[in-house]
Each structure stands twice: as structure tokens, then as C-alpha cells.
Amino acid sequence: MGEGTIIVKELDSGFKYRVTEEPGGEHLMRCYACGTCTASCPVRAIEESFNPRKIIRMTILGMKDEVLNSDFVWLCSTCYACQERCPQDVVITELMNALKNIAVKEGIVHPGIASQAQEILKFGRVYEIDDFANKKREKLGLPSLKSDSKEVETIFKSTGIDKYIAKLEEEK
């Protein structure tokens, strides 16, 4: 079998239905592969492998593992250009969120997202607030910020994100 060959018995025929039941995935089946989303996408302009139309087709075909384990859905910049231009009102940005949510439910978290989560847990935000940043804020008349992750810890524990972060740290 050549590269790119699809083995029908390896497809998950129920995957598209699972996606349509996820908030944001409701309009998946409206897509008729016109390509307007891909032509509108700024990520596609800089990363050829990102192709919203292809992701939608793969999802409808039932290529669950390929979709959930790919970088595709995590690259979406959520600019909404694709869905504003979609003639079928496929809410593509929300569809990408639905696919991410399914991936996370299956224990698949993109390394970049996991790294950001680690930083948020550590500092209460994606980056540490240092003295330099607070001095700049003070010059602008803004209050100082403190790194505080107590509330984030509570949210992470209640949502289970803390387990993913622990798993990532174990793999290091």
C-alpha cells in the first residue's frame, strides 16, 4: 500500500457523529469541500500542512486517530476568517475546538498546550511577571501584577488538567 492509502476497516465510522454531538461540531456534515476555508486561512499561508478542508474530510471519513493525533487542530489561530466565508455555515473555528476537546478527553494533549498549562500552573499566567514588567507597568500608571497560581490550581484540579501536567512531567 502506498503512502496516503486509506484502509476502510481502520476508519471509525462513528467519529463524525461523535464530533457532531460535541459543542461546535454540530454543522460538520454541511461541508461540501469547496475549499473556501483553506483559501481564507492565514495559518495555511505560512504552514502548508494546515488545511481545514482536509481536516473536515478526514473527520467525516472517520480518520479519528490521524485527526486527534495531528498538529492540525492545534494550529488554528481562531481568527474566524474561514467560518465567516463558509457558504455552508460550518462553524470551523468551533469545530477545531470540538476536535481539541475530544482529543483531550482521549488523553491527547498537544505538547505546546501542555507546556503552556505548566507555565499557567506555575505563575498563574503563561509567563512569569518579573520586576522589569512591573516597572514598565508602574511607568504606565498600571498596578503591579503578582504571580499567583492558587486559583489556577483549583481550576486545574476540578477539570483534571493537573493530571495531564503530571503525566507530562513524568515523561520528561
Of the residues 105, 124, 149, the one at which a domain ends? 105
Tell me: the pLDDT tens digits for 94-126?
Answer: 999 999 999 988 888 888 887 888 888 877 777
Domain count, the chain: 2
Tell me: the pLDDT tens digits for 142-159?
Answer: 888 777 778 888 888 888
Higher pLDDT: 148 or 14? It is: 14
Of the residues 105, 132, 148, the one at which a domain ends? 105
- Of the listed ranges 1-10, 15-24, 65-74, 77-86, the least confidently predicted one is 1-10
The pLDDT of 66-84, averaged and rounded, is 90
Look at residue 1 and tell me if it is in a domain.
Answer: no
Please give the residue range of the domain that contains residue 158: 111-171
Look at residue 5 and tell me if it is in a domain.
Answer: no
Measure Cα distances from 32 to 35, 86, 93, 100 in Å: 9, 10, 17, 22
Average pLDDT across the chain, whole number: 87
pLDDT of residue 1: 47
DSSP letters for 105-171: HTT---HHHHHHHHHHHHHSSSS---HHHHHHHHHTTPPP-----HHHHHHHHHHTHHHHHHHHHHH
Look at residue 3 and tell me if it is in a domain.
Answer: no
